Amino acid sequence: MNMKGQGVSTICEIRKPQELTGNEKFKDLSRNEKKSGNSCEEKNSFCPEKPRHDNVGDDSPGGEEEMVSFGESASAEDCDPPLERWTALPRFTGTRPTVGNFTISRYSPAEWRNRHQEILKDSTYQIREAKNHEYKTNLLGSQICSQIDKQQLDNSLLLRSRAGEIFHWKTELKFVGEEVESEILKIQGEIGRLSNCFRAVETIKNMDRDIQRIRDSRLHSDLVHDTLAEEIVKEEKLCNDILNLYTRCIDETKMQSIELKDAKQRLEHDWSDKSQTYDIDSTCVGLKNDSEGLQWKPGSLQVSQDQSSPEGHTTFVKQSIIYAKTAVNRSQVLRANMIENSSTCLKDLRRQAAAVEMALADQIVELTEAIRRLEAALNNCLKRLADNDMLINKTNAVIRGIDGPMKCAQTRLGMRLIRENIESCRDHSQNGLIDEVKNVAEGTTALSGQVKMACDSTDSLIELRKKLENELLVKKNSLWIDGKRCKSMRMHYPAINSLSGY
């Protein structure tokens, strides 16, 4: 481009009408450029008539150098031509419209040199900045890589340490869980044992009630509240107390079983979480930069609101373990108390059973002795009745035997009454006959009285025999009840193993 011509015309000349007419279609584009914020400096940069003052830089010796103007200075109206004289081509090519008909020169040599210096200066600056940027980038990259490697190693060590801690708590939870499970089995076995004891004691209670009902069927004369009845009542009361105790023990054991199951559930949930966490941390420890399955996780930096702290995590695990161990200790103490109570109840039941057996044996012995005595008394009564019958018969025979002397004496007296006159005398023979009749009459009366007394005695002995036979029947019935039925029922008394719940 020839920049040395002295006769360069300005572009502010009035164009031909046809050129203005051809540029009407660019009015809207010029207006849009004006609206988009193009300043006057952009316009002036394309104005060759306006002098330019550019800073050459620190390298230029004179500082600012005044630009050489091409041609004459243009007026203000010429330096700011109307927009309709511009076309879209100069904006894209960076040139002005043709000046006249001979040249399209735009810049002066000074402008060209200044522009060249600016480009070299900008190139040097940009190259130096690129080198500085490369150095800083390499330095920053090495620092970041070393820091990342150190953080990755530290995090791997922390993950390994955390995995070891999780494994420790996982193992501890497993051991405590096995202990709790074993205690649950023991406490359930204790519940079964107490249930067996309850049924055995209930059997004894029902046996005592049946014995009382059977003994109430004794006859009226033997319906007494004897020692056996007192011991049976004591045994029934003892059974009621023991059943109440077993009921409370079973309820407490069931509550303890629920507590153990709750502790086991907490341990299992915690162990499951720790097992999953241990697997995750172990996998994280084994991950490398070139491991398979690595993915972008942009949302992994989010911190959940419900995350716990390490102190809270340790406290939660310790609380679960302490809760489980406390439940196990409470269960062990409860089982020991129940075993002790069962042993005490067993001893009391056996002691009372021995008292009942002894009272029953004494009652049987007493009834047997009573029956023996009643039978002996009945035999004596029957023998006495026979003797009385013989005595009555013999006395009646004696009475009948003295009838002859009585008749003889009375006949003699009657015959001597027919004596007449003086011969009717009360002589010694008369007195003797009278005495004889009196004596015979008195003897007959006495013997008759004895017979009557013997008959009364016989009647009394007959009543006594009835009483003895009735009493003997009552005693034999009581002996059958106590010696057969009650004793046979007592033979079904639960054994020690049944009372112990085994």
User: What distance lies between CA 95 and its chain's CA centroid?
Assistant: 93
pLDDT of the residue at 351? 93
User: What average pLDDT does this structure show over 67-73?
Assistant: 38
Confidence of residue 15 (pLDDT cuts 50, 70, 90): very low
pLDDT of the residue at 167? 93
Residue 104, pLDDT > 70, answer: no
User: What average pLDDT does this structure show over 299-304?
Assistant: 76
Which helix (H) or strand (E) is 81 found in, with range?
none
pLDDT in tens, 289-298: 888 888 888 8
- First and final C-alpha spacing in the chain: 123
Lowest mean pLDDT among 44-53, 269-278, 299-308: 44-53
pLDDT of the residue at 108? 72
pLDDT of the residue at 240? 94
pLDDT of the residue at 189? 92
Query: Is the pLDDT higher at 164 or at 74?
Result: 164
Residue 131, pLDDT > 90, answer: yes
Confidence of residue 89 (pLDDT cuts 50, 70, 90): low
Percent of the chain with pLDDT over 70: 77
pLDDT of the residue at 329? 95
User: What average pLDDT does this structure show over 357-370?
Assistant: 92
pLDDT in tens, 75-87: 444 444 444 444 5
Secondary structure, 3-state, 327-353: HHHHHHHHHHHHHHHHHHHHHHHHHHH
Q: How far apart are CA 386 and CA 99, in angstroms?
A: 188
Confidence of residue 430 (pLDDT cuts 50, 70, 90): confident
What secondary structure does DSSP assign to 445-481, as a single string?
HHHHHHHHHHHHHHHHHHHHHHHHHHHHHHHHHHHHI
DSSP designation for 417: T
Rounded-to-10 torsion of CA 342, 344, 348, 350 = 60
Long-range CB pairs of 66-74 (<8 Å, 24+ gap) are: 67/108, 67/110, 67/111, 68/108, 68/109, 68/110, 69/108, 70/8, 70/105, 70/108, 71/6, 71/7, 71/8, 71/9, 71/10, 72/10, 73/49, 74/10, 74/12, 74/47, 74/49, 74/50
User: What average pLDDT does this structure show over 374-402?
Assistant: 86
Cα angle for residues 381, 383, 386 (degrees, 5° grid): 110
Lowest mean pLDDT among 126-135, 234-243, 294-303, 463-472: 294-303
